[in-house]
Structure 1
C-alpha cells in the first residue's frame, strides 16, 4: 500500500508537470506580455487567451488603426469567442499576418477556443516571434520517466468520461458523437489486448483468500476494568476593578513588546524591568510608548460621548458595544437621526485624525476598527448630505496624517498598504454601485497614497485589481486624473498609463465611459499641451457623439488646449481646436452649450476667431440658462455645478468674469447687422447689458476705451431707442441709455431734441400714441428722464428741450 501511494503521488506530479509545460508561457514571453500593459493579467494561458480579447489587445499595440478594442467583447460564451476570433481572422487576412510563417487556420482557432492543452501557448509563442522578431527559447525535453503503473492506466469508464469532456463532442449530431465514443472504446479494447500480450501475469487469475479479522484478547463478560481517578481543582476568580482595565491593557501591551525583546515585566510594579540582563532599553522605550498611546476605539468613543452628551440617543446605545459602533448603528437604524448631528460627530473624528494615526502606527489592527466605523457611514449616508462630506473629509484627514507619520519614520508605504488591505475592498463596492460618490471616494484613495509618482501608480493598480471591473475602473480614472498634480503627470510612465486608459475608453460603446475618457484627456492636456498634436483627431471624431456629456467634454478639451496654446502656435493646434469648438457650439444643446461657453470664455481674448460663434451660441440659449451664465459673479461666489455622473462635475463660473466685454459687444453688433434685424430681442439686450457691466468706464476691467464703446453704441443706438416702446425690453434699453448718458462724453446728446434726428422723441410719441397699454414703457421713460434732469446743467436743458419739442409737435398727446 505504501509503495502504491508513493507511486501515485509521483505519477500525479509527473502528469501535472507534463500538462503545465504545454500551458505555461515561458519567462521571456510572459515578460513581453506584461510589458504591453494589457487590461487583464495572464494567470491561466489557455483560459485567458481562449476568447481572443487579449490577443486582439496585443495586436492593437502594433496595429492601433486596424484593431479597435471597442469591437471586442471580453466574454467567455461561445458566441463571444467566435465573434472575437472571426474579427481577428479578417484582420489577419487583411494585413497578411502570418504567425509561424503560415496563415491562421480555423482548426488552430478551434483548439484555442476549446482550451486544448498547448494550443494557446504555441499560438502566443508564434505571435511573439512575429511581432518582436526574436525566437522563443524552448526548454529542454524532460527525461523519459518510468512507464505508468497498472493502477494508473485508464479504464473503459475513464476513456468514456474523457471523451464526453472533449470539446469536439459538444455537437448536436448524437450519431456522430456515439460513433466517436465507440471508436475510442474499440481503441481502448485493442490497447488492452496488446497489454495482455506484453504482460500476461498482470491479467492472470489470483486466489482469493478469506480475510482474517484481528481480534483482541478474550475477556470475561461483565468484568470491570479499574479506572483511574481524576482530581479537578477549584478555580478561584478574582474580581477586577473597572478602573484598572486600562492599566491591565497597557501592561499587556508592554509584556508583548517585552517578550519579543527578551524583557521581563512584573504587573503592579512601577518599574518595567530591573535594568540588567539582556534587556534592550530602546525596545523597552518603544513598548512603553506604544502602551501609552490610546487605542483608536478609545479615541472614537471619547468623541462620540462628548458630542452626544446630554442627548437621548445615548440611552439607546448597546452597553456591550463600544460607543462608536453604537453610534453607527443609530445612524443606520434611525430614520430621523439628525444629519447635522452626524456631521458634528464625524467632524470630531476628523479633528482627532492625528491621534487615530498614532494609534494605527503602533497597533495596525486599530485601523480596522476605524474602517469599521467610517465605511458603514459612507455607505448609508446620502452623497449630498453634510454627513457624507464629513465622513470623506475625516477619511482624507486620517490618510494624510498616516502618510505624514510614515514619511517621518522608516515605515514608508505602511498607510497605503493598510488601506488597500482593510478599507479598499469595502469602498470598491461603493465605487461600483454609487456613481455619485466616486469623486469623493477616489479622493479618499489618494489621501492614503504618498505624494510620489510610485504611490499614485500603486493606487491605480490597486483600484484595478480590487475592482476587477473595467467599466467602473474607467469611470474612476477621470477622478484619479483630477487628483494628480502637473508634476506627477510630467512623469512619462504615469502619463502613458493615463493615455492608455483614455484611448481605450474613447473607443468603447458606453457613452458614460467615452465622456469620462475625454474628461481625463482634458486633465492630461492641461499638464502636457503638446499631446494635443496627436489627440485632437481622436477628439474630433467624438464631436458628433450622441451623448451630450461627451460633446461637453470635447468643448472642455478644446478650452483647456486653447488656454495653454497661443493663437499663432505654428503647429495648427489652436486653429484645429477652434474649428472643433465652433462645430460643436453650432449644433449644441443647452446643457452642452452651457458647459462649453463657461469653459471657453477665458479663451476669447487670445483667440478672437471664437468670439462670433461664442455670441451666436449664447444668443441661442434659453432665457433661464443664459441669465445664469451672465450673472455678475464675485470672486468668492460659489460655482454653479452641473453634476455629470460619469466624469468629474463641471465647475461653471459666470462668463462675465472672464470674457472680453468689448469684443463680445462688437460681435453682437456685427450679428445684428449681418442678420438684418429690425429690432433687438431680449437675448440681445441680455448680452449687451452684461457686456456693459464689464466695460472699463463702467467700473469693469475689460480693455477698450470709451471711443471703442461709443462706436458700438452708434451701431446699436437706433435699436436701443426703439426698444423703449417694447414692454419686455424697455428696462434693458433704459439701462443701456443710462450707461452711455452718465459714463461717456456723449452725455446729454443721447437725447437729441431735433425731430429729424431724435429717435428718443419718436419713441415718446409712439408710446403715448396708445401702443403702451399698461403704461410700463411710459413709466420707464419718465423715470429715466427725471434721473437725467436731476443732474442739472446741460442734462436738465436737454430734457426740457426734448419735452418742449414733444409738446409743440404733439400737443394732444402731451396733454
Structure 2
C-alpha cells in the first residue's frame, strides 16, 4: 500500500518500503465520472496542500499542463526515482512535451497506469483534462477512490453539467460543441500526412454529427437531411448510458442490421471469448479514443455497403473476381461447370472460400482454390495502387478474405496460401508507399484481426502465426522503428480486446512476440531503434517467465533463445536473467519429481538455451578444445546440462539435447564433462532416433518436435537440422574412447554373442568412420588398445545375423587405423579360431540364431591379413578335422 507522506510532504520511504510501493502500482483504471469536472474535489485539494508543492494550484487546466507539478507530486513519494532537476517549469509546447516524455519513461518503468491518452489533453489545456490527470494520480498514489460527482441524489446525471467545453446530456444548445470546435482537436492538427488528417477529421466530424442526430431524434426533428450515409445507420442511444446501438426510426432495414453486426464483431470479442470473468464496466469502454475507433469501424462497414468511395475508378474486388474466374476456368479440375455452380447473387471469390472451408463440400478442390490464390498473388503489384489510394478498398479486401482465416482448417494448405497472398499484397503496397501501408495495417487491418488472435487458444495455433506473418512481414518494413510502432499498436488492440486487463492479455502478447521476433532476425540491435526493439522483446519475455502457465513460460524462454545469439550484449543479458534462477529452478523441479512433470517444451527450451550459452563460450576460445571453462558461469551451464540429460524422463528433451550436442562445437570443447553422458544417452535412445543422429546423411524433412512447439523453438530446431549430419566427434580420441569403454559393459573374456549390443556397435562404427584412415603413432596406439579390449566380444558378434555386417565393418576399420601393426598375426588367428570357428563347428553348437555358413566363409576368405586366416584354417584342420572336411573351407584351403 502506498502511504501518504507526512504533513510537510517531505518524509521519504525506506528502501524496502519503496520497492514494495513501486511493485504495488498496478492498473487502477481512470476514475471515470471525473474526466469532465470543473473544480478539484475537496479531498484532492487537501492532499495537494499537504504535499507543500512549489506552486499553489489555482487553475488546474493550466497549472498541470507542463507536468512540472505532477513530477513534483511523484518526487514526494519517490525522491530517488523522480529528480526535479530534470524538469523545466516553462510553458512552451516543447517544454511541456519534454517534461511529460520524461515522466512517461518513469510511468513505463514502474508500471504506473498513466498513458499518452491521459496527459496529451493536459498538454493542450483541454477543459477537464488537468483535473482528470491529478485525480487519477491521487487514486494511484493513495489507493483511494472518490465518489461520483456531478450527480443528483437519485443517481441520475446532472443535466446542466458542462463536459470538456460541451455538454454531457441535455445542456442547452449554446453550451454544446460545434463542428468547428471538434475539428480544432490537437490530435488532428498535429497529423502531418494530409490524407490521414482528413480521415481523422471526418471520423471526428461524423461522431459529432451522430450526437446531433441522436439529440434531434429525441426532440422529434426529422434528421434525414443530416445523414452522411443515406441508407440508414445505427445511432447511439444516450438513455441507457451504456452505448447500446439503437435504430433511428421505428423499423430497421436488413442492411443496417448487417452493419451493426459487423461493428459489434469488430469492437471486441465477447467476455466468454476473451476469457473475461465478467462483463467490462461502463468506465472501461468510455473515452474519446474508443468512441472514434467505433465510429471509424462503423464508417468502414457503411462504406463497404454503399459501394466505391469517391474518386475510385476501379474496385479491388472487381479485379480479384476477374482473376479468380479466369483461374477457375483454366484449371483442369475447374472449368466452366464449376463457374456456373457458383451463386451469381454472391461474390464469386467469397463463394469459393466458403465452399473450400466446408469439409463436407467437395465441389471446390483444394488445388483449384490454391491456383486462384496464386493467380491473385501474382497480380499483387497491380492491386497495390488501388489499395494505397483508398483505405476502404483495404477494408473490402480483408472482409472478402476474413471468413477464410476464421473457418478454414489450420492444417489445410489453403490457409498458408491465403496468408501468403496478403503478405505479397502488403509487400507490393510497401514498395509504393511504406507510410500509407503501415497506416492501413494499423487503422484498417489490425482492429478486426486482433479479435481472431484473442479467441481462446488461438494465440498458440498456426492460424495466429499466419495472421501475424502477413501483417509484420508484408505490411511493415523490416526497420526496427517500424516494427516497434506496429508492436505498440498490436499491444493496444490486444489489451483493448481484454478490456484493459493486462494480466489476462499477457499470455496472448507473449505468444505473439514469440512469433514476431522470428520475423525480425535481420534487425540490427546496435542502433538505438534496434536496442529499443530488443528491450520490448526482453520485457515481454521476462514477464512471461513469471506466468503460472507452462506455455507462457515456454514462449518467454523462446523469445530469449532467439535474442541471445544476435549480439554479445543480448547473450550476456539473457544468461544473467535465466541461468541462475529460471534454468536452475526448472532443473531442480525436474530432478525432484515431487510436482507434476514440467512441460516438455520448457525443458527443451532450457536445453537449447544451455547449448547456446556453451556454444558462444566455445567459440570465444578460438576453436581450442578445453576440458574445463575459465569462468564459473560456463561451468555452471555445463553442470546444469549434464543434470538435465540424466534426470529428464522426456524422450523429446533427450533427443533434442543429443542432436544439439552432435551438431555443435560444444561436445568437442567440453568433451571431458559431456562425452560420457552423451554416449550413455545415445545408447538409451530408440534405434531409429540413434541412427538418425549418427548418420552423416541429412533427413531435412524429419521433425522430432511435437505439434504445438513455439515458433522460436521451431526456428532454433530448424537450424540444428540444417547443420551437417552425423556427430562432430572431437579430435582428442583418448577422451572419447575412454568414455566409450566406460559405457560399454563388456569384459575381455566375455563369450556371449550379444556382448556388444547393436547401440555399442553403431556408436563405434560412427567414431571409426569419422577418424582418419592413416593415423600417427600415438593415435594408432590408442586404436590398438581399444582393439585389445573389444576384440573378444567384437569377433563373437560376427556370428549374430543382426550384428555380423556391422561387426565386420568395425573389425576392418580398427585394423586399418593401426591395430594391424600393433597386433600379431598369431593373435588374430587365435581370435578367428576361438571366437568364430570353434563356437560355430564344435559338437553341440547352437544352430538356431547364427549366420549362414556362406557369410562366414566370405568373411574369413576376405580377411586381412590373409596370413592370419591361413593360420586359423591350419588349426581348424588339426583340431576339428571332421568338421573341417565337411565345411566349404576344405575346398578353398585344401
Contact 1:611 1:667 in 2 (8 A): yes
The verdict on how the C-alpha distance between 1:708 and 1:451 changes in structure 2, with shifts beyond 3 A counting, is: farther
What residue is the counterpart of 1:213 in the other structure? Answer: none
CA distance in 1 between partners of 2:659 and 2:544 (Å): 25
Counterpart of 2:793?
Answer: 719
Asked if 1:552 corresponds to 2:598, the answer is: no
Structure 1: how far apart are the matches of 2:486 and 2:636?
A: 35
1:526 offset after TM fit, Å?
1.0
Classify 1:379/1:255 alpha carbon distance in 2 versus 1 (closer, same or farther; 3 Å): closer
SS at match of 2:862: helix
| CA distance in 2: counterparts of 1:39 and 1:748, whole angstroms | 78
The equivalent of 2:869 in structure 1 is 799
Report the CA distance between 1:549 and its aligned residue.
1.6
Query: Are residue 732 (structure 1) and residue 840 (structure 2) matched?
Result: no
For 1:647, which of 710, 730, 733 is the aligned residue? 710
Report whether the alignment pairs 1:767 with 2:837.
Answer: no
Aligned match of 1:190:
none
Distance 1:398 1:709, change over 3 A: farther
Q: Give the deviation of 1:500 after TM superposition.
A: 1.6
> Are the aligned partners of 2:565 and 2:612 in contact in 1 as well (CA < 8 Å)?
yes
**Contact residue 565 and residue 573 of structure 1 kept, 8 A:** no
| Inter-partner Cα distance in structure 1 for 2:316 and 2:138 | 62
Partner secondary structure for residue 677 of structure 1:
coil
The TM-score normalised by the length of structure 2 is: 0.56
Q: Please state if 1:600 is matched with 2:661.
A: yes
Conserved? CA contact 2:357–2:409, under 8 Å: no
Q: How far, CA to CA, are the matches of 1:553 and 1:500 in structure 2?
A: 18
Q: Does 1:659 align with 2:735?
A: no
The Cα offsets for residues 311-365 of structure 1, whole Å up to 9 and x where unpaired, read as: 6432321112232112112212352343333333322233223223233123332
Q: In structure 1, the residue corresponding to 2:773 is in which secondary structure? A: helix
Give the distance between the partners of 1:430 and 1:306, measured in 2 at CA: 41
Does 2:549 correspond to 1:510?
Answer: yes
2:349 is aligned with 1:324: yes
- Three-state SS of the structure 1 residue aligned to 2:586 is coil
CA 673–614 in structure 1, closer or farther in 2 if over 3 Å, else same? closer
Match of 2:384 in 1: 357
Alignment partners' CA distance in 1, 2:35 and 2:493: 34
Helix, strand or coil: the match of 2:491? Answer: helix
Give the conservation status (yes or no) of the 8 Å contact 1:375–1:426: no
Match of 1:576 in 2: 636
Q: Secondary structure at the match of 1:723?
A: helix
1:494, distance to aligned residue in structure 2 (A) = 1.7
Alignment deviations for residues 444-481 of structure 1 (CA, whole Å, 9 cap, x no partner): 33212211112222333233233332212222222222
Counterpart contact for 1:662–1:691, Cα < 8 Å? no
User: Any residues of structure 2 matched to 1:12-161 within 5 Å, and which?
Assistant: 14=37, 18=41, 28=71, 31=104, 34-36=107-109, 38=111, 121-122=137-138, 124-125=140-141, 154=153
In structure 2, the residue matched to 1:623 is: 687
Distance 1:671-1:693 versus aligned 2 partners, 3 A rule: closer
Q: Please give the per-residue CA displacement for 1:656-675, whole angstroms capped at 9, x wherever unaligned.
A: 43522665895354343477
Residue 473 of structure 1 is matched in structure 2 by 509
Give the greater-gyration-radius structure (CA).
Answer: 1
Which of 565, 569, 587 is 1:543 aligned to?
587
1:402 and 1:725 mapped to 2: Cα distance? Answer: 70
Which secondary structure state, in structure 2, belongs to the residue aligned with residue 605 of structure 1? helix
Write the distance in 2 (CA, Å) between the matches of 1:683 and 1:329.
Answer: 53
Corresponding residue SS for 2:539:
helix
**Which residue of the partner structure matches residue 464 of structure 1?**
491
2:768 is matched with 692
Aligned equivalents of 1:396 and 1:706: distance in 2?
Answer: 59
Q: Are 1:638 and 2:701 matched, yes or no?
A: yes
The partner residue of 1:446 within 447, 466, 472 is 472
Shift of residue 510, structure 1, vs aligned partner: 0.8
Which sits farther off after the overlay, 341-350 or 319-328?
Answer: 341-350
Out of 586-595 and 380-389, give the one that drifted further: 380-389
Bigger CA drift: 723-732 or 442-451? 723-732
**How far has the Cα of 1:403 moved from its partner?**
2.2
The more displaced of 476-485 and 663-672 is: 663-672
Q: In structure 1, how many angstroms separate the alpha carbons of the residues matched to 2:336 and 2:760? A: 58
C-alpha change, 1:721 and 1:31, in structure 2 (3 Å) is: same
Q: Is the 8 A contact 2:316 2:397 kept in 1?
A: no
Q: Contact 2:545/2:552 (CA < 8 Å) preserved in 1? A: yes
| Mapped contact 2:787–2:819 kept (Cα < 8 A) | no
Decide whether aligned partners of structure 1 residues 441 and 688 sit closer, same or farther in structure 2, where only a CA change above 3 A counts.
farther
Cα shift at 1:593: 0.5
When the two structures are superposed, what TM-score results if normalisation uses the length of structure 1?
Answer: 0.61
Contact (CA 8 Å) 2:370, 2:414: kept in 1 or not?
A: yes
SS in 2 for 1:758: helix
What secondary structure, in the 3-state scheme, does the structure 2 residue paired with 1:640 have? coil
Residues 722, 759 of structure 1: 8 Å contact kept:
no
1:670 is the counterpart of 2:739: yes
Please give the alpha-carbon distance, in whole angstroms, between the structure 2 residues aligned to 1:292 and 1:487: 33
Q: What CA RMSD, in Å, does the superposition of the two structures yield over aligned residues?
A: 4.5
Structure 2 CA distance for aligned equivalents of residues 323 and 773 of structure 1: 74
Aligned to 2:461: 435
1:810 aligns with 2:880: yes
Partner residue in 1 for 2:201: none
Deviation digits for residues 183-205 of structure 1 (CA, Å, limit 9, x no counterpart): xxxxxxxxxxxxxxxxxxxxxxx
Structure 1 segment 361-380 matched on structure 2, within 5 A: 361-380=388-407
1:416 to partner: Cα distance: 5.2
Aligned pair partner of 1:529 in 548, 571, 586:
571
Offset at 1:515? 1.4
| Distance across 2 between alignment mates of 1:764 and 1:39 | 85
Structure 1 residues 153 and 332: alpha-carbon distance in aligned structure 2, compared to 1, 3 A threshold: closer
Q: Is the Cα contact below 8 Å between 1:725 and 1:771 reproduced in 2?
A: no
The whole-number CA distance in structure 1 between the counterparts of 2:463 and 2:780 is 50
* Alignment match, 2:237: none
Could you give the per-residue CA deviations for residues 598-640 of structure 1, whole angstroms, max 9, x where no partner exists?
Answer: 1222121233232222222222223333233333333x73342
Instruction: Evaluate the alpha carbon distance shift between residue 732 and residue 574 of structure 1 in structure 2; reply closer, same or farther with a 3 A threshold.
Output: same
**Residue number in structure 1 paired with 2:533:** 494
Instruction: Answer yes or no: is the 8 Å Cα contact 2:781–2:819 preserved in 1.
Output: no
> What are the equivalent positions in structure 2 for 1:221-236 lying under 5 Å apart?
none
Question: What's the CA shift for 1:489?
Answer: 4.1
C-alpha displacement at 1:706, in angstroms?
Answer: 6.3
* In 2: Cα distance, 1:598 partner to 1:342 partner: 39
Structure 2 match to 1:419? 445
Q: Distance in 1 between matches of 2:731 and 2:826?
A: 29
Deviation digits for residues 106-142 of structure 1 (CA, Å, limit 9, x no counterpart): xxxxxxxxxxx99984363369xxxxxxxxxxxxxxx
Rounded to whole Å, the distance in 2 between the matches of 1:781 and 1:410 is: 76
Instruction: Indicate whether 1:485 and 2:555 are aligned.
Output: no
CA 1:778/1:744 → structure 2, altered by over 3 Å: closer, same or farther? farther
Q: 2-side partners of 1:358 and 1:784: how far apart?
A: 75
- Mapped to 2, the partners of 1:386 and 1:467 lie a distance apart of 28
Tell whether the 8 Å contact from 2:525 to 2:531 is kept in structure 1 after alignment: yes
Partner of 1:344: 371
Deviation of 1:718 (Å): 3.2
Distance 1:383 1:341 in 2: 18
